[in-house]
């Protein structure tokens, strides 16, 4: 089920990339005509059999790749080598996917209409096959363009995780498996399906070489005249297979991970060291604080500090705030509220239920102000800029609106003013709320 959804997403993504690239190519060809013309001979040198239309398209796409930095440090001849390979594996008329056929059909209708309406327009008399070939050519290059840009962003994410996992000191076996399985395998699947959307069964080793090219660019190791295609030829020499999704893991670990992980880690070493240092310092500070407080700490305070440290660990050390911790937090809040009631009235279960809410506002709401990023979900999004400049001031100005939002969310999570399970409801609703907040990447990445 999920797989099918993913497939559809990628197909849609391809369709978008394809249409937007086609449009950009047209614009590029008219605005940068001289640039396109200057490229054509260089590409033609490698690809003498290409039609003129294809040559113009390829040149424009190369230009677009350059301006978008989809592939860096690339010469036209290197690009042409890749195109040459892609032309070889381009689907024939039978294998062409439905999407392309649809595009082709609308084009034909359009062309026919134009012919009818204005005879002045010089429409090149091209055969149907040639027109289809052009569309397929464009579509294949669209997949190529798109896959290079996904690789770039996927590698950034990979690097972030290399840093994070190393800072957290995870076991080597876990780092290997997590990096490959959460980054490289989905990347293979994604790119494979992008090509598949045109009808091409791309060789997995070509995907590998595309990824390797991206990594080499990052670590500054690519030698001159090394194209994705030349890397592909190298891999082909000792890796005999190129099809079947069971190869993802093998290619990812043997051709990418084992070769480049240490190099990437070396590249990221300053970041990792800094992170480890910060983490150790923070732990040291907390430990010192805890030790200093320990003698005069009452039971209430120890419970309260547990709540604090739970949140602090998540924000500062990136420890995940999972369901287990959520449940614990809800319990802690509940028992604290009951204790406060016990202190004031001598019983846990007090008749004045609203008093619990007052306790809550006294004791726990300040957490929200300690970490201003927690207020992010309650702001009116139009004031985002205002908020990010000075969260607390914004909160003071917009207090009524934001408190309304806050209580609305609390009620959505099961908070009710008058129920017998009142302290539990508050604790649970607040824990649910914090759970959402602490798992929201927007909040976690918010720089205060």
In the complex, what is the shortest distance from the CB of residue 111 to other proteins, in angstroms, rounded to a whole number? 44
Among 46, 217, 234, 239, binds other proteins (CB under 8 A): 239
CA atoms within 13 A on the CB side of 78: 19
- Contacts (CB under 8 A) with other proteins, residues 307-326: 323
Q: Is 245 in the site for other proteins (CB under 8 A)?
A: yes
Angstrom distance (rounded) from CA 175 to CA 158: 11
How far is residue 270's CA from residue 39's CA, in Å, rounded to a whole number? 41
When the beta carbons of 95 and 283 are compared against other proteins, the nearer one is 283
Q: Which of residues 323-352 bind other proteins (CB under 8 A)?
A: 323
- Residue 294 in the binding site for other proteins (CB under 8 A): yes
CB atoms within 10 A of CB 15: 17
Look at the block and give the residue holding tokens 């660990």.
313
Run of H or E including 315: helix 299-317
Least Cβ distance, residue 1 to other proteins (angstroms):
5
260 half-sphere exposure, CB direction, 13 A CA radius: 28
Helices (H) and strands (E) in the chain, counts: 22, 0
The tokens describing 429, both together, are: 């609703």
Distance, CA of 446 to CA of 373 (rounded, Å): 6
Stretch that binds other proteins, among 67-75, 120-128, 243-251, 440-448 (CB under 8 A): 243-251
How far is residue 105's CA from residue 99's CA, in Å, rounded to a whole number? 10
Which lies closer to other proteins via its Cβ, residue 171 or residue 381? 171
State which residue, 134 or 161, has the beta carbon closest to other proteins: 161
Q: Which of 92, 93, 114, 250 binds other proteins (CB under 8 A)?
A: 250
Q: Is 238 in the site for other proteins (CB under 8 A)?
A: yes
**Contact window for other proteins (CB under 8 A) among 53-61, 107-115, 148-156, 241-249:** 241-249
Instruction: Pick the binder of other proteins from 31, 116, 121, 173 (CB under 8 A).
Output: 173
**How many angstroms separate the first and last alpha carbons of the chain?**
40
Within 10 Å of residue 9's Cβ, how many Cβ atoms? 12
The correct pick among 48, 220, 240, 346 for binding other proteins (CB under 8 A) is: 240
Contact positions vs other proteins (CB under 8 A): 1-2, 171, 173-174, 176-177, 181, 238-241, 244-251, 253-254, 294, 297, 302, 323
């Amino acid at each position: 089920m999920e797989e099918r959804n993913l497939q559809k997403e990628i197909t849609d993504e391809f369709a978008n990339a394809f249409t937007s690239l086609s449009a950009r190519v047209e614009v590029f060809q008219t605005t940068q005509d001289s640039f396109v013309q200057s490229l054509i001979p260089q590409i033609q040198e490698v690809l003498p059999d290409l039609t003129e239309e294809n040559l113009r398209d390829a040149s424009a796409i190369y230009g677009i790749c350059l301006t978008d930095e989809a592939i860096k440090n690339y010469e036209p001849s290197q690009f042409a080598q890749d195109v040459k390979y892609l032309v070889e594996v381009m689907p024939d008329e039978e294998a062409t996917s439905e999407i392309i056929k649809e595009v082709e059909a609308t084009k034909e209708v359009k062309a026919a209409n134009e012919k009818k309406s204005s005879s002045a327009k010089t429409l090149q008399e091209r055969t149907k096959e040639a027109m289809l070939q052009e569309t397929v050519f464009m579509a294949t290059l669209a997949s190529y363009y798109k896959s290079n840009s996904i690789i770039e962003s996927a590698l950034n994410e990979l690097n972030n995780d290399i840093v994070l996992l190393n800072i957290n000191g995870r076991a080597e076996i876990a780092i290997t498996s997590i990096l490959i399985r959460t980054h490289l395998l989905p990347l293979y699947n994604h790119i494979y399906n992008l090509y598949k959307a045109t009808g091409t069964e791309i060789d997995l080793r070509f995907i590998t070489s595309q990824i390797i090219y991206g990594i080499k660019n990052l670590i500054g190791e690519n030698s001159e005249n090394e194209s994705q295609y030349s890397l592909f030829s190298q891999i082909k020499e000792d890796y005999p297979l190129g099809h079947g999704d069971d190869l993802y893991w093998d290619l990812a670990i043997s051709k990418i991970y084992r070769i480049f992980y240490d190099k990437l880690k070396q590249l990221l070493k300053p970041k990792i060291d800094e992170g480890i240092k910060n983490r150790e310092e923070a732990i040291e500070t907390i430990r010192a604080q805890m030790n200093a407080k320990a003698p005069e700490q009452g039971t209430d305070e120890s419970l309260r500090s547990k709540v604090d440290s739970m949140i602090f660990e998540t924000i500062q050390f990136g420890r995940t705030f999972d369901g287990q911790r959520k449940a614990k937090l809800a319990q802690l809040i509940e028992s604290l509220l009951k204790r406060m009631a016990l202190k004031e009235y001598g019983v846990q279960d007090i008749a004045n239920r609203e008093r619990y809410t007052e306790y809550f506002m006294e004791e726990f709401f300040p957490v929200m102000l300690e970490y201003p990023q927690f207020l992010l979900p309650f702001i009116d999004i139009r004031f985002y800029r205002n908020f990010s400049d000075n969260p607390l001031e914004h909160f003071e100005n917009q207090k009524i609106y934001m408190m309304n939002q806050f209580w609305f969310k609390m009620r959505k999570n099961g908070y009710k003013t008058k129920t017998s399970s009142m302290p539990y409801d508050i604790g649970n609703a607040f824990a649910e709320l914090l759970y959402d907040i602490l798992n929201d990447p927007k909040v976690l990445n918010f720089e205060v």
